[in-house]
Structures are given as C-alpha cells and as structure tokens.
Amino acid sequence: MTLKQRNELLESMTDTVAELVLRQNYLQPQAIELSHIRAAANLSDHQRFIQMLESEGRLDRAIEYLPSDEEITKRQKADTGLTNPELAVVLAYGKMWVYDNLLSSDLPDDPYFINELRKYFPDELASRFLMR
C-alpha cells in the first residue's frame, strides 16, 4: 500500500472512527454510573485493585487524588464507596492494565477472538487486514 493509498483509506474511515469514538464516549459514563451504584459494596475490590496497581508502579494515589487505605476504611464504616471521578480514574487505569496484559499474552493471536477484534476496527479496515 502506498502512502497515498494509506491516506485515502484513513480518510475514508473518518466518519466511522468518529462514530466508534462517540459510542465509547457514550458507554463510559454508563459504566462509571453502574459502578457507582455498587461502589460501597465493591469498595474492598476497588481497594485491592488500587493496591495492585500501586504495587506494580502503575498508579500514584496522591497524583490521582484517590483515597488512602485509611480513608477507604472510613468509607467502609460509613457504607460509602468511591466517587464517580475516582471511579473514572480507576476505570482508566484498569483499561490500561487490561490492554497491557492482553498484548503481552497470546490472546490477540487466538482465532477464537478474531470476531471481537473485528468489532474494534472500522469494517473497511477489518475486511482488508483481518482474517475472516
């Protein structure tokens, strides 16, 4: 594929890519709100995930304004959980963690997941470069 062909292909997918991005922008607040509904019940799970990210050097709670373990203990006693902004931060770090772990595994090469992979890309691109 020449540079000109590449650029034409990318330009032809602009609207489709915009739709995919907007769809994700629509779904992410829903994911955060659904997480918030169960935030108090899931606070221990959130705490363990935050601790794991910290232990791997991926997250600094202070920089991200996430609660300390002491604050989480207070919230558990008060039956409250992470706030929506805190959940958004945890979701973002979670997505990066999943991405890194998926790429370092053999799952992207597993034929079983090809249909899921196809959904991630515009049809024009998937049909040209991904196996059916």
Q: Is residue 60 part of a domain?
A: yes
Q: Is residue 46 part of a domain?
A: yes
Q: Is residue 45 part of a domain?
A: yes
**Cα 7 off chain centre by:** 28
Range of the domain at 73: 35-129
In contact, 17 and 122? CB cutoff 8 Å? yes
- Both structure tokens of 5: 């062909």
What's this model's pTM, rounded to 2 decimal places? Answer: 0.80
What residues contact 7, with CB distance under 8 A and at least 6 apart?
Answer: none
pLDDT at residue 132 is higher than 70: no
Tell me the per-residue pLDDT of 86-129, one tens digit each, with 9 for 90 and over. 999 999 999 999 999 999 999 888 888 888 878 878 888 887 77
Per the structure, how many domains does the chain have?
1
Tell me the per-residue pLDDT of 16-44, one tens digit each, with 9 for 90 and over. 889 888 988 888 999 999 999 999 999 99
User: Phi and psi (nearest 5°) for 39?
Assistant: -60, -45
